[in-house]
Chain A
Amino acid sequence: MDLNNLTISQIRQSLRQKKFSAVELVNAYLSRIKKIDPKIKAFITVTDSVALATAKKLDQKIKQGKKLGRLAGAVMAVKDIYLTKGIKTTAASQVLKNYIPPYSSTVYRRLIDQDAVLIGKTNTDAFAFGVSTENSGFFTTKNPWNLNIVPGGSSGGSAAALSANLCTFALGTDTGGSIRQPASFCGLSGIKPTYGRNSRYGITAMASSFDCPGAFARHVNDLALLTQVTAGADSHDATTSTTPVPDYPHLLDQTKLKSLKIGLPREYLSTGIDSQVKKLVLQAAATLKKQGASLINISLPSTDLSLAVYYVLVPSEISANMARYDGIRFGSSKKDTKNLLSHYMETRGKYMESELKRRIIIGTYALSAGYYDAYYTKAAKVRTLIKNEFATALTKVDVILAPVSPTPAWPIGEKVNDPLKMYMADVYTCPVNVAGLPSLALPCGFTDKKLPVGFQLIGNYFEETKLFSLGHQFQQLTDYHLKSPSL
């Protein structure tokens, strides 16, 4: 039995039937990490002793016939911006390179409470500011499908780890596409839930009105289970929703493809899209059509403004959130500074990565006197327009089908000197965050250079059930999600 390629429910069942022990499972993953990770560099920290200790406890539980958590034995890789109590959390930045948090993030805690096993903390662009992991303060992660290519980002370490079968599932965050885009680049499924569905508590803040924690898995049914465990109100995050969490895993057949209306936004499929990506995305739409769904052309006219809205509002929120780093209460701190002001300026100047500085400065600029109305308020108004356009479209169709990224993953280094070009990679994902809608990314084929391509299904607020149901049915009809890179 290949222990590195099981679903969450297969693991739980196998542990119960004593086909293997949790320690054997964790050791299988650890030895694969030892062999493969030096090539792809997905992990910042491998938590081998924590993983083995958790596995031993789990085996004890099984031996004593105690009730097992819903994720028993599932081995997880966690993006290193999720705080894990007592375990180093760096945010992939020199700012927090030695930070050991005194508390845990809610999403991580809810997964641990269901007996998931933490195997390591994964690489990301520093503080999740980026689309390729090239902005990491430590190193760049490689795409397991081609080691010269980026894995996507910011949650690129999590995607690469799962794609290389170094974990059962992985956690990411999606502020402008940071789960869906690396999922697409690495041939995985990924869920960006509705804003407020998963708690943001204990995750380093990027843009508080955009940030969405979520998961990566191969199979949509695993994503449905994970989201059911993580979602729901949290007293530590006032923006979490009290909308009841549906029993996603048992509703996977609920949405019928027959007579389902799928919207294809023309703005996402006209100019600027790679022809191979377009072909594969339309092929995915045709697969659903064959089962009785109808494809309807729709328009989201302000799509071309989304990126500008995103890159005004997100850096604005970043500049406010990152103002909390003073090098006094936590984090790296410059010695021998003259006074408090020079301490702030020199500490932040020395330890922050370039992309942190760029975004903080853009945000500070957009919020400063004289520019506030022209940039921040204007962008917030266009945000309303974008939100309304999605709302109108979703009265005509049940779900929107779109590409995740206009291109397949690109060579490492290609865009590092041109931030604006790098930002363009978010063009089809960030509008969804601007509106706060849920979106599920799924693999739909490979380019002629054998790079994975994904598409996304965008639903109305809190309609994750529909997305999981459609995604699950799509995976019954296709086998792209079962492919693994040869390493």
Chain B
Amino acid sequence: MSSLNLKSLRHTARLARIKLTPSEEKVFLKQLSSVIDYFKILKKANTKNIKPSFQIIDTANVVRQDIVAPSLSSDQVLATAPDTQDGYFRVKSPISK
């Protein structure tokens, strides 16, 4: 049995903040099930006492002096926004009426 079903696909898409159409749900369910099933191959690896690698370089905690340097102006930043007002990003209400 596949690890992914319609319910878990819908749940995951919602967590990912993506609205899927019914036809997308149908296609993705098939495609993503085969991808996720393929991941089961990892089970055969013996990883006892092996530490995970979240990155491959040894660098850690790169720090710098906290000095104020020039950055983009708010005009430049707001220029890429679809909707602004009074020098702010304009967003939909987070609370439904």
Contact = CB atoms under 8 A, between A and B. Distances in A.
Interface of A: 99-103, 195-196, 209, 235, 238-239, 241, 302, 304-305, 308-309, 311-312, 319, 323, 327-333, 337-346, 348-350, 352, 354, 357-358, 360-362, 364-366, 368, 375, 377-385, 387, 418-420, 423, 435-436
27 contacts: A239-B57, A305-B44, A308-B41, A311-B39, A312-B39, A323-B16, A327-B82, A328-B89, A328-B91, A337-B92, A340-B92, A341-B94, A342-B92, A349-B18, A349-B21, A357-B13, A357-B16, A357-B20, A358-B28, A362-B35, A368-B12, A379-B39, A381-B51, A381-B52, A385-B45, A387-B53, A420-B31
B96 A339 contact: yes
Interface in B5-27: 8-9, 12-21, 24
A239 B55 contact: yes
A380 B51 CA distance: 8
B24 A308 contact: no
A357 B53 contact: no
Contacts of B68: none
Contacts of B50: 381, 384-385
B1 interface: no
Given A308-B38, A312-B42, A340-B94, 11 more contacts: A103-B72, A329-B77, A331-B80, A339-B94, A342-B92, A345-B14, A360-B18, A379-B42, A419-B34, A420-B35, A436-B56
A311 B32 CA distance: 11
Nearest to B52: A380
Contacts of B92: 337-340, 342-343
Contacts of B13: 357, 361
Contacts of B54: 209, 380
Contacts of B64: 235
A432 to B, nearest CB: 11
B17 A339 contact: no
Contacts of B80: 99-102, 329-331
A339 B24 CA distance: 23
B19 A196 contact: no
The secondary-structure label for the interface of chain A is helix
Contacts of B32: 358, 361-362, 365
Nearest to B54: A380
A198 to B, nearest CB: 13
Contacts of B18: 345, 348-349, 352, 357, 360-361
A358 B42 contact: no
Contacts of A99: 80
Nearest to B34: A420
Given A305-B41, A339-B93, A379-B42, A344 B17 contact: yes
B17 A323 contact: yes
Contacts of A340: 91-94
Contacts of B93: 339-340
Contacts of B56: 195, 209, 383, 387, 435-436
Given A345-B18, A349-B19, A102 B79 contact: yes
Nearest to A354: B24
Contacts of B8: 365
Nearest to B14: A345
A391 B19 CA distance: 44
Q: Which of B39, B59, B62, B89 has the largest count of A CB atoms less than 10 A from its CB?
A: B39
Contacts of A332: 82
Contact of B59 (A238, A323, A329, A377): A238
B24 A357 contact: yes
